[in-house]
Structure 1
Amino acid sequence: MAKFLYVYHGSGKMPTDDAERKAAMDAWTGWYDRLGSAVVDGGNPVGMSKTVLPSGKIENNGGSNPTAGYTIVEAKNIDDAVAKAKDCPILMDPGFSVEVAPIIEMM
Structure 2
Amino acid sequence: MPEFMFAYHGGKMPETPEEGAKVMAAWEAWYKDLGESVVHPGNPVGMSKTVSAGGIADDGGSNPLSGFTIVKADSIEAACKMAAACPMVADGSGTAEVAPIVEM
TM-score (norm 1): 0.91
The list of structure 1 runs, each at least 4 consecutive aligned residues, that deviate by more than 6 angstroms after superposition, is: none
| CA distance in 2 between partners of 1:31 and 1:59 (Å) | 34
Deviation at 1:90, TM superposition (A): 1.1
Q: Name 1:7's counterpart in structure 2.
A: 7
Aligned length: 104
| CA distance in 1 between partners of 2:37 and 2:57 (Å) | 36
- 2:68 maps to a residue whose letter is Y
Structure 1 unaligned blocks of 5 or more: none
Instruction: Give CA deviations for 1:28-60 in whole Å, capped at 9, x if unaligned.
Output: 0000000000000000110000111212x2111
SS at match of 1:41: strand
Deviation at 1:61, TM superposition (A): 1.1
Computed over aligned residues only, the root mean square deviation of the Cα atoms, in angstroms, reads 1.2
TM-score (norm 2): 0.94
Structure 2 unaligned blocks of 5 or more: none
| CA distance in 2 between partners of 1:14 and 1:89 (Å) | 13
